[in-house]
Structure 1
């Protein structure tokens, strides 16, 4: 019987294909998640020692109840009605402040939805109404 000889081949280069695959995978993950990190609504958080500010009697106030019901000028409105009514007001004066008063138990996401609708209507000056802290 004859003996077989196994020859071992020596490679003088490194296979970089798995490394490139991993880098492309990480690049895709960063490209997908980066736009999700953007904050679309600019809000200036209230100061703790801010002076009390009284709104005008003619100011426009959007109220959001605990159950998510939206009230504008003391009338219950849908999200679409709110946008259409605010769009008509924004055509006259888009820099007029809109006061947003939301129930303290309302989720942050719902408040952000209403703020987004107000901005979509054409207003950039959205003021959050807060109650004075009880001492």
Structure 2
């Protein structure tokens, strides 16, 4: 290690070089530690995991398709139905299967009054799942 210059002067000048020997020693020690500990981190435990399938479970519930024409006539699953007969049929269907859905398919020229009346009768009978069927192809 050099502590000064070889010149014979009474005045000493400060050393302007960086001493990297201690830095290299620390880096070599860290390198050896990482070389020793790295294989220990790759140790794994074999576990037989169950296989899963990502197929959704589709539960088809019972549904009623009720069509409403522009003139107010009703069709229960394609068969003509009177407005007075809706309440007893809804109640009978709900007692058989409580999760029954009502799909309303109303003509675009049907008055809202007919649709609202059918929805009110269905709600009073105990139907909680009421949906509207539309045709997205028409613009």
Q: TM-score, normalised by structure 2?
A: 0.52
CA distance in 2, matches of 1:86, 1:108: 20
Pairing partner for 2:127 from 119, 123, 126: 123
CA distance in 2, matches of 1:71, 1:120: 19
Shift of the 95–73 alpha-carbon distance from structure 1 to 2, 3 Å rule, reads: same
Deviations 1:21-56 (A, max 9, x none): xxxxxxxxxxxxxxxxxxxxxxxxxxxxxxxxxxx6
CA distance in 2, matches of 1:96, 1:89: 7
Contact 2:62 2:100 in 1 (8 A): no
Structure 1 unmatched ranges of 5 or more: 1-55
Partner of 1:111, secondary structure, is helix
Shift of the 96–61 alpha-carbon distance from structure 1 to 2, 3 Å rule, reads: same
Pairing partner for 1:67 from 71, 75, 83: 71
Superposed CA RMSD in Å reads 2.0
Partner of 1:127, secondary structure, is strand
Partner of 2:85, secondary structure, is helix
Shift of the 123–71 alpha-carbon distance from structure 1 to 2, 3 Å rule, reads: same
Structure 2 unmatched ranges of 5 or more: 1-59
Contact 1:60 1:97 in 2 (8 A): yes
The number of residues matched between the two structures is: 80
Contact 2:62 2:101 in 1 (8 A): no
Shift of the 58–123 alpha-carbon distance from structure 1 to 2, 3 Å rule, reads: closer
CA distance in 1, matches of 2:120, 2:109: 19
Q: TM-score, normalised by structure 1?
A: 0.53
Contact 2:65 2:104 in 1 (8 A): yes
Deviations 1:80-135 (A, max 9, x none): 21111111000022222110111000111211111111112210110111110446
- Asked if 1:97 corresponds to 2:94, the answer is no
Q: Which structure has the larger Rg over C-alpha atoms? A: 2
Cα deviation, residue 58, structure 1 = 5.7
